[in-house]
Every structure is written in C-alpha cells, then in structure tokens.
Amino acid sequence: MSNVISGIDAINALDDTGESTASTEFTKFSSGSEFIVKVIGNEIEVDGETRIIGDFISYFNYGIYKKVNSFVAANPSKKSAKGYPVENLTPWDKAWKYHADLSKEFNDHHSKEANKYRPKQKFVFGFIDLDSGEPILVDLTKKQAQAVSAAIQKFGKRRGEMAFELAKTGESTSTVVSLSPILDDLTDKQQENFDKAPEKFDEKLFESVLFEVDEAEQIKLLVQAGFDVSLIGLDTPKAENADEATPIEDENVEITDDEFPF
C-alpha cells in the first residue's frame, strides 16, 4: 500500500525526534488497557549496524475527533521530512494549507483550523496476545511508538525469551504507553500461546487495517467537517450523496499532544 511506510523508512520516521490476509481491525487500546504479549520483531541493518525492532508500520491519517473517523488517502500526497504535504495535495491537504497560509501566529484561529485537516503520522505495532494466542494491532502516536520501540531495543535478542505487558495509562496529553517485561509466571494458557507463537509476524495483517478514502469521498468528509470546499476551488457534493460520507464513531480515538496545533 502506498500509505504504508515500513522497514528502514519506518525506522527513520520513528527515529526523527522533530515534530493473515483476512480483513483486520485495530485492537481497542484505550486508557486502562493492558495486554500480555509476545514481541516477535526482527533484525534490520541501520547505518551498518544490526538493530532489533518490533513489527510495525508508519502511515499518515486524517480525521477530526468525534466528527470524521480516521482515514488514509487512497492517493496520498508527498510529505516533507517533517511530515507536511508538499506535492500531489489531497483535498484535506488543501484545506490544511488554506488555513496554514492565513495563520499569522501560533494558536490563532487559522492555526487551530489548519490543525484539524493536517495529516498526522501514526504507527501500528503488531504483537501476539498471549491470552488469546492471536495477533493484535495497536495504533500509536509517534511518542507512544518511540517508547515501545525503545523497550524492544533495550531487550534486543532477549525479547524472545520473555513476555511483556503492553499498557496505556493517563488521559489526553498525559496518555502514556509502556511495554515492560513480565516478572511473574505466565498462566498455563499464556505459556502455551507463548511457546507456539510464530517466528515471524504476518505482515499481511497491516495491509487491510487502514481505511482508504478516495478524493471524492474526502470532499464529502470536508463538507461534513464544516469546511467550505469552494475556498480551495472544489464543488460541494450533491446533497443526496451526503449519507455516504457519514463515518462510524471511532471508539479508539484519544486526544493527545499530537492533536494540538503545530
């Protein structure tokens, strides 16, 4: 998928400290969630050194909390090193640029409006849930993903010898995601699932977890969000098609520091 960034490109995105084939879904991972997991992971060469990483991809999503469910562009724009659209702009990129160009100072009206439409970089990590024995996919912000990645790198090759607790605590900008080794014994079922976990994570699971939206549907969602699309040279869709643009509410969405104005 053109939206997915994996391998060395995903590693570079994560390191930047600046700002089964069946259909799969994100595992609900709200504050208070805890999972006992096995980290599969793999080795990759980075700048001539072997590095242990988890199983993850990076992508850019659009959406407005409780207004428009998260989605990725079917024909994504080219992004700068900082993640800002620079070429082949989507309708949502154009809405972001319209307000960003009018913004005079941080946190003014246009700054806040631009942030609504800006693509946000997210990361999807895959683990084996030891209670069910099934793979799970959790959607993380960049800071959350960096914390998880650091824990995996810390234990390196020993990661395959231990189980971990994946947890989320706190609210809003204080949300914290942690990955910590389990010191207590596993239950018989957890140990059984640990022992029979696959040697490699099924990367095909990442391919169907993201919801792609084409340009026509993006325009409908802009109208739903309250943006006047004529400001960016687009026509308002016909009213009879409005129902098609109504997304379901995303229960996994949490406001984090990544959601605030740039």
Position 23 confidence tier, pLDDT thresholds 50, 70, 90: very low
Query: pTM for this structure?
Result: 0.77
Please indicate, yes or no, if residue 107 is contained in any of the structural domains: no
Please indicate, yes or no, if residue 219 is contained in any of the structural domains: no
pLDDT in tens, 168-179: 999 887 899 999
Identify the weakest region by mean pLDDT among 15-29, 150-164, 241-255: 241-255
Please indicate, yes or no, if residue 21 is contained in any of the structural domains: yes
The whole domain housing 168 covers 7-89+119-214
Residue type, 151: A
Please indicate, yes or no, if residue 72 is contained in any of the structural domains: yes
Q: What is the CA radius of gyration of the chain?
A: 20
Report the C-alpha gap between 61 and 256 in whole angstroms.
14
Token pair listed for 88: 């082949």
Position 4 confidence tier, pLDDT thresholds 50, 70, 90: low
H-state helical runs in the chain: 7-15, 91-102, 109-117, 142-155, 188-195, 215-225
pLDDT in tens, 79-93: 998 999 999 999 999
The beta strands (E) that lie in the chain are given as 34-38, 42-46, 49-53, 55-64, 68-73, 78-79, 85-87, 120-129, 135-141, 164-169, 176-181, 212-213
Report the C-alpha gap between 16 and 84 in whole angstroms.
14
Report the C-alpha gap between 100 and 232 in whole angstroms.
13
Q: Establish how many alpha carbons lie within 13 A of residue 190's alpha carbon, considering only the half-sphere containing its beta carbon.
A: 16
Please indicate, yes or no, if residue 258 is contained in any of the structural domains: no
Cβ contact 119:93 at 8 Å? yes
Q: What angle do CA 259, 205, 39 make, to 5 degrees?
A: 80
> What is the reported pLDDT for 178?
96
Residues facing 176 on adjacent strands = 169
β-strands 55-64, 42-46: how paired?
Answer: unpaired
Task: Give me the number of domains the chain comprises.
Answer: 1
Please indicate, yes or no, if residue 243 is contained in any of the structural domains: no
Please indicate, yes or no, if residue 22 is contained in any of the structural domains: yes
Please indicate, yes or no, if residue 16 is contained in any of the structural domains: yes
Q: Which residue from 138, 151, 124 is spatially nearest to 30, judged by alpha carbons?
A: 138
> What is the reported pLDDT for 261?
41
